[in-house]
Amino acid sequence: MRHAPIDARLFVENRARLRQLMLPGALALLNANDVFPTNADGTLRIVPNSDLFYLAGIEQEESILLLFPDAADERQREILFLRETNEVIAVWEGHKLTKAEARAASGIENIQWLSDFPKYLHRLVCEADHLYLNSNEHRRAEIVVESRDARLAHELRRRYPLHQYHRLARLMHRLRMVKSEPEVALIREACAITRAGFERVARFVKPGVNECEVEAEFAHEFIRRRGAFAYNPIIASGANACVLHYTDNSRPCNDGDLLLLDVAASHANYNSDLTRTIPVGGRFSRRQRQVYDAVLRVLRASIQSLVPGRKWREWQEEAEELVARECVHLGLLKPRQLKAKAGETSAKAVKRYFMHGNGHPIGLDVHDVGFADEPFAAGWVMTVEPAIYIPEEGLGIRLENDVLITAGGPVDLMADIPIEADDIEALMARGRGKRR
């Protein structure tokens, strides 16, 4: 792992929280993610399973976590199974976790090799009444590849058809929605790495640089600080900013254009999510500044609306109403277009200029798990990302910060990252001065 070790107490406490939600006599199983193939004999770098990491802090392939709080033998209430290494693996793949290292990282005392998993599994399944099986559940996910968890579920149902099976994801989503103080600290570090990357890029950008060069500047700063891209970076100049998930990052940045940067870092598997829109030439035009300030006003208002008890849908509709009113002032909509028709919100017309959600939970996943039908609660970390896209003007502006919801009010985790138009221009001017 590239990041510094995490205090194992985080994972010990997470497992304790899960035990409180499990049914009596229940056993839970979680797998590491597969190492996915590419072409020929190539493979992708493993992406740690978020739920397994949340409960054990383990990032190694082929690992399995078994939790059985009511096991008769207390030594078998938590077992972590690891791939056993050998001289050949050490030469070709490098170091793998020893039992002592896994024990220190996870806080789990009973560490076994993967080859012993079948015998432990049969013995404990026969003792259990309920089985919690994990799966990658997300309302926006399209699952087309069978995972290790899915393969295990098929095998268990074949071998033990009379047990009661349950979705572990429902419990994990509830737990992961609320971030503990150590988790927030890890997200803050991801935000700090993101800030360094953005400030580097703002000083670097000038007319003629290519979007891919901007991506390289982010990569340099993130990697040197032991971070990584939290998601595929969106570096979109000019009209490219109106493509929501633009990732080609291959166009020259021209003077007079805006450059939308939806780029952020992850740290220790915890993610941040930032968007800034900056002028390639160093100064906003009058029209660009009008639209920019409009989006910033919506961002500020939306952050203040992130309070416990607020319904997600109400928050989204409020943002659409605010953007709609800004669009009237910008000459994009007529006042009469804001009036509601039967069965529509008054912000319906604004979908042409603001067509996506105003934010989402963030944590171990960029679009983190959670329940969209539940009101906001203290401990949630949400992105706030209003925007106005005007394709006919080749203009797209989106701004985004990450915000912690607390009982005392929202805490902007990116408040120290420049966002005011004057501050952006000043930061870019300092970079240009250095280049002279």
pLDDT, tens digit, for every residue of 317-372?
A: 999 999 999 999 999 999 888 876 544 544 588 999 999 999 999 999 999 998 98
What would the mean pLDDT of 96-116 be, rounded to a whole number?
A: 97
Residue 36 has a pLDDT of: 92
Class of domain 9-177: alpha beta
- Rounded to an integer, the average pLDDT of 48-71 is 98
Alpha-carbon gap, residue 428 to 413, rounded angstroms: 22
Question: Is residue 69 over pLDDT 60?
Answer: yes
Task: Write the pLDDT tens digit of every residue in 274-290.
Answer: 999 999 999 999 999 99
Q: Which residues of 214-247 are buried (b: 16+ CB within 10 A; e: fewer)?
A: bbebbbebbeebebbbbbebbbbbbbbbbeeebb
| Distance from chain centroid for Cα 322 | 26
Amino acid 257 reads D
Closest CA to 358 of 423, 311, 292: 311
Report the CATH architecture of 181-435: Alpha-Beta Complex (3.90)
Lowest mean pLDDT, pick from 62-66, 177-181, 341-345, 385-389: 341-345
Task: Determine the pLDDT at residue 341.
Answer: 57
pLDDT of residue 342: 47
Residues 6+ away with beta carbon under 8 Å from 415: 401
Name the nearest CA neighbour of 29 among 84, 73, 67: 67
Where in the chain are the domains? 9-177, 181-435
For residue 414, the one-letter residue type is M
Q: How many percent of the chain have pLDDT more than 70?
A: 97
Read off the tokens for 22: 């499990």
pLDDT at 217: 98
Q: Is the pLDDT of residue 109 over 80?
A: yes
Taken in order 303, 304, 305, 310, is the CA torsion positive or negative?
A: positive
Structure tokens at 191: 């935000």
Above 80 in pLDDT, residue 142?
yes
How confident is the prediction for the chain on average, in pLDDT? Answer: 95
pLDDT digits (tens, 9 = 90+) for 173-206: 999 999 999 999 999 999 999 999 999 999 999 9
Report percent pLDDT > 90 for the chain. Answer: 91
What pLDDT digit, counting tens, does each position of 237-272 carry? 999 999 999 999 999 999 999 999 999 999 999 999
Where residue 49 falls among pLDDT bands split at 50, 70, 90? very high
Query: Average pLDDT, stretch 135-158?
Result: 91
**Distance from the first to the final alpha carbon of the chain:** 40
Taking CA atoms, 87 is separated from 95, 350, 364, in Å, by 10, 62, 33
Contact by Cβ (8 Å): 141, 126: no
Residue 227 pLDDT more than 80?
yes
pLDDT higher than 50, residue 436: no
Asked if pLDDT for residue 67 goes beyond 60, the answer is yes
Q: What is the pLDDT of residues 147-169, one digit of tens each?
A: 999 999 999 999 999 999 999 99
pLDDT of residue 372: 86
Taking 50 as the threshold, does the pLDDT of residue 421 lie above it? Answer: yes
Packing angle, helices 181-204 and 421-435, rounded to 10 = 50
User: Does residue 117 contact residue 64 with C-beta atoms inside 8 Å?
Assistant: yes
The answer, yes or no, to whether residue 19 has pLDDT greater than 90, is yes
